[in-house]
Structure 1
Amino acid sequence: MSFPDSFDWLPQAPLQRLDLDWLSQAGVKVAVLRLDLIDPLISGNKWFKLTEHLATARQCGATGIISLGGAHSNHLHALAAAGRRFAFPTVGLLRGHPQDTPTVRDLQRFGMQVHWLGYAGYRERHSPGFWAPWQAQYPELYPVPEGGGGLAGASGCRPLLQQVQQQLPALGWSDYHGWWLAAGTGTTLAGLVLAEAGAHPVYGALAVPADHGVAQQVADILQEAGLNSGRYELLDSSRGGFAKVDAELREFIQLSERYSGLPLEPLYTGKALLALQAQVLAGRFAAGSRLIFVHTGGLQGRRGFADQA
């Protein structure tokens, strides 16, 4: 069995203006690349991050994919959905102990085989021998890093630059001054840094604390790609930890959705937009600045925070 050719093409994400009072008052213009709209299930940046991994798996003669994530993982959700749609097997190695979340129910409904690693077991995912027993158990499956990471995942995100450039004239923009997006593993950010090759800066609003190693993962990807430096910055926007959702964030999401119509979720896009607001209000970006905000999707994950968002 081989992977389908359907992943050989990339869906087009629309680029839309974001109208909010705090942007207007600062004279800063933002356009949102709506990756959340490209597909109802294989949504956000996940489609892009999967493309190169699936191509490599196909070249290796693998029949399916095994990967990792948490109980609300957007990556595993998209992977399981792709497996069901294109008829290839998927296995998910999950952080923690068995939980009954909307995402986990979807994984099982989509046909993904799920294994729970506990927390200590999941922390071993970067250890040299982590994959050996799983590859022995599933020799026909290709292993993909957490979040679809690595150089392959980053390379799959490079076409986002062209998608934005093609749509700038419709906004009346001749250029822009930088990118802003949430960073969970830093893979999409690394892909944009590679695509830009220094032309524009990329700002990553960290959805996880600094000790999660995102900075090192980005540096490793860029080094593997042969890029010794790039114009990017990581800002801690985790608000105390991954999946930490406080009252200020909940209120910000509700107000932003009400006034802009842009759907957000509390783990990534909500935190990223709130972090952007803080930087804009602090005068980080001069009046007249034009920024591209990447909506990385993840809206399915907000179901697990329905009482908080």
Structure 2
Amino acid sequence: MLLSPANWLPQAPLEPLLLDWLTRAGIEVAILRLDQIDPLISGNKWFKLIEHLKAADRAGAQGVISLGGAHSNHLHALAAAGKRLGFETVGLLRGHPQQTPTVADLQAFGMQLHWLGYGGYRARHEPGFWEPWQAQYPNLYAVPEGGGGLAGALGCKALKEQVSVQLSNLGWSDYHGWWLACGTGTTLAGLVLAEAGVHPVYGALAVPDDHGVAPQVAAIVREAGLQISAYELIDASRGGFAKVDPVLLEFIENAEQSCGVPLEPLYTGKALLALKQQVEAGRFEHGTRLIFVHTGGLQGRRGLISYS
């Protein structure tokens, strides 16, 4: 690769999240704006890529091959990083050829696309799946779907440091926990590793329980050898991944108007609604201070969200 990712570590601003339902409950929330780290390489997906890209560099690879769907934030970040840093990217996509704003960006960024169909994509966890692709692209480094695994989690540990150096700007000396959306659980696992039991991490599941987030997080924590961890997974999927309903859309619209922070309905919108429900149920004591992670992904809402 032409440029190591270590040479580009964007800083995400930490700012107060001002919403009336938080004020009424006496809860303070600071939002880590990963959606603002870069115009193209946005959100937690970049942090999940960092250690994978370093491994690809060490392996002498000329680029990266990975998987995702037609609205994939992961592939979008990977393709944008390839264009920015000067390495080759190949995307293996779920389903059959279609044109979405995300796919158009992938093509514009120079990513070579292969559509696997649905059956072919389901085979991604089977033994031998990568062999023909590695034969076709021997100079590329394979990164798992979503940039997951221990490498992805280790890249996300940096988020704790980004928060710690900005707490004084809010007048905070400490906080009581993290709240964020979970798709694979990799970012949550990274925060769990960074915290090592000091502060709890609450993950609002954007996918149903059968997507295996809990065992994935447990496997990462176990592989890292962490003895003490504190985290909880909370169902926020609203019936399934990418399930969007009128209540959610109305909540997002109202929240955006109130706090001025753009949201999307698959991850961050669901996570914030789940937090509201937990706050109004009395889950957190008056005076609690939480860090809410805006995981980005705003590019993926193009064509997915519309307000009536």
TM-score by length of 2: 0.97
Aligned match of 1:26: 25
Q: Is residue 72–residue 304 contact of structure 1 (8 Å, CA) maintained in 2?
A: no
**Residue range with higher mean Cα deviation, 266-275 or 216-225:** 216-225
- The secondary structure found in structure 2 opposite 1:208 is coil
What is the deviation of 1:228? 4.2
List structure 1 segments (4+ residues) > 6 angstroms apart after TM superposition.
none
What is aligned with 1:141?
A: 140
Percent identity, please.
74
The gaps in structure 2 that reach 5 residues or longer are none
Residues 41-75 of structure 1: CA distance to partner in whole angstroms, max 9, x if unpaired?
A: 10111221111111000000110000011110001
Matches within 5 A, 1:1-309: 2-307=1-306
Report the Cα distance in structure 1 between the residues aligned to 2:122 and 2:231, rounded to whole angstroms. Answer: 27
Q: CA RMSD in A?
A: 1.2
In structure 2, give the amino acid aligned to 1:243.
A
Between stretches 77-86 and 256-265, larger displacement belongs to 77-86
SS of 2:181's partner is strand
Q: For residues 143 and 228 of structure 2, what CA distance do their matches in structure 1 show?
A: 26
Alpha-carbon contact 2:207-2:237 (below 8 Å) kept: yes
Q: In the aligned structure 1, how far is the partner of 2:6 from the partner of 2:105?
A: 21
Cα offsets for 1:5-53 (capped at 9, x unmatched)? 3443411111000010100011011000001100011011122111111
Q: Distance in 1 between matches of 2:228 and 2:99?
A: 43
Total equivalences in the alignment: 308
Give the SS at the match of 2:303.
helix
Secondary structure of 1:305's match?
A: coil
Residue 130 of structure 1 and its aligned partner are, at CA, apart by 1.4
Q: How many angstroms does 1:270 deviate by?
A: 0.3
Q: Distance in 2 between matches of 1:230 and 1:41?
A: 33
The one-letter amino acid of 1:283's match is G
Q: Check whether the contact 1:3–1:58 (CA below 8 A) recurs between aligned residues.
A: no
**Structure 1 position 213, deviation (Å):** 0.9
AA aligned opposite 1:47: W
More divergent stretch after superposition (45-54 vs 123-132): 123-132
Distance in 2 (alpha carbons) for counterparts of 1:203 and 1:128: 33
Deviation string for 1:232-262 (max 9, x for gaps)?
1111111111111000000000000000001
Are the structure 2 counterparts of residues 280 and 299 from structure 1 closer, same or farther at C-alpha, using a change threshold of 3 Å?
A: same
Structure 1 segments unaligned to the other structure (5+ residues): none
